[in-house]
A and B are shown apart, each in its own frame.
Chain A
Amino acid sequence: GAVVSQHPSRVICKSGTSVKIECRSLDFQATTMFWYRQFPKKSLMLMATSNEGSKATYEQGVEKDKFLINHASLTLSTLTVTSAHPEDSSFYICSGTGGSTDTQYFGPGTRLTVL
């Protein structure tokens, strides 16, 4: 199957700082990328959908000014958590779809801890 990478896999930051997470599709062109967050032992919650070259569409309740998403190319999307707070601590997972398939291919996730 297609491969999606995320970087970093784990990040610890201080409250008030910003953190950028990268999501790359390594062997396919991801026309659409999704960002999810997952709390411990919980399911995934879709945060936003981004199509290459256009603004992300955020789900209800997700602050677009806090979670900045950029999908600059068909292989790269970034999520920046601005002015992070401890409640932003979570597991963030990206996925991409592309070509003729509806299948989402997921990255390995990034564990964010805000102190």
Chain B
Amino acid sequence: SQQGEEDPQALSIQEGENATMNCSYKTSINNLQWYRQNSGRGLVHLILIRSNEREKHSGRLRVTLDTSKKSSSLLITASRAADTASYFCATDARNYGQNFVFGPGTRLSVLP
């Protein structure tokens, strides 16, 4: 099974609400990264959180990392229709014998 697995696979919310996506992984990691992808486009890097960090913020984004549970969450506050996209987590475990592995992604729809 995949190293990084997001849940939910699809999420639909109203504008202004918060969206939370989770990612679980299986091995030790160097860092975990969250990316966003608009339909049919490349990926945009959102946040990188290192294995010794527990929480990071960037604008309306908040990422947490719990290495004991091998899980991470991405919270988008006060969502906007423009946040509609697929969100992927990717684990960097190159020091542990595994290259970047992407989870299946969460498709977020923010309804106006």
**Chain A residues near B (Cβ < 8 Å):** 1, 4, 6, 34, 36, 41-46, 49, 59, 91, 93, 95, 102-109, 111
Query: Chain B 37-58 against A: per-residue CB contact (8 Å), 1 yes, 0 no?
Result: 0001111110010000000000
- 8 Å CB contact of B45 from A42, A45, A105, A108: A105
User: What is the predominant secondary structure among interface residues of chain A facing chain B?
Assistant: strand
Q: B102 near A44 (CB under 8 angstroms)?
A: yes
- 8 Å CB contact of B41 from A41, A43, A59, A109: A109
CB neighbours (8 Å) of B33 from chain A are 102-104
Q: B100 near A108 (CB under 8 angstroms)?
A: no
| Highest count of chain B CB atoms <10 Å: which of A49, A59, A102, A105 | A102
Beyond A43-B103, A46-B99, A59-B99, is A106–B43 a contact (Cβ under 8 Å)?
yes
Given contacts A95-B43, A104-B100, 6 further A-B contacts (CB under 8 A): A4-B42, A42-B104, A42-B105, A43-B102, A43-B103, A102-B30
Q: How far is the CA of A104 from the CA of B47 in the complex (A)?
A: 11
**Chain B residues near A (Cβ < 8 Å):** 2, 30-31, 33, 35, 40-45, 48, 88, 90, 92, 99-105, 107
- 8 Å CB contact of A107 from B42, B48, B88, B105: B42
Q: How far is the CA of A85 from the CA of B35 in the complex (A)?
A: 30
Q: A49 near B99 (CB under 8 angstroms)?
A: yes
Q: B45 near A43 (CB under 8 angstroms)?
A: no
Q: How far is the CA of A103 from the CA of B34 in the complex (A)?
A: 10
Q: B45 near A106 (CB under 8 angstroms)?
A: yes
CB neighbours (8 Å) of B44 from chain A are 106
Q: B42 near A93 (CB under 8 angstroms)?
A: yes
Q: B31 near A43 (CB under 8 angstroms)?
A: no
Q: How far is the CA of A107 from the CA of B43 in the complex (A)?
A: 7
Q: How far is the CA of A66 from the CA of B40 in the complex (A)?
A: 24
Q: B44 → chain A, closest Cβ, in Å? A: 7
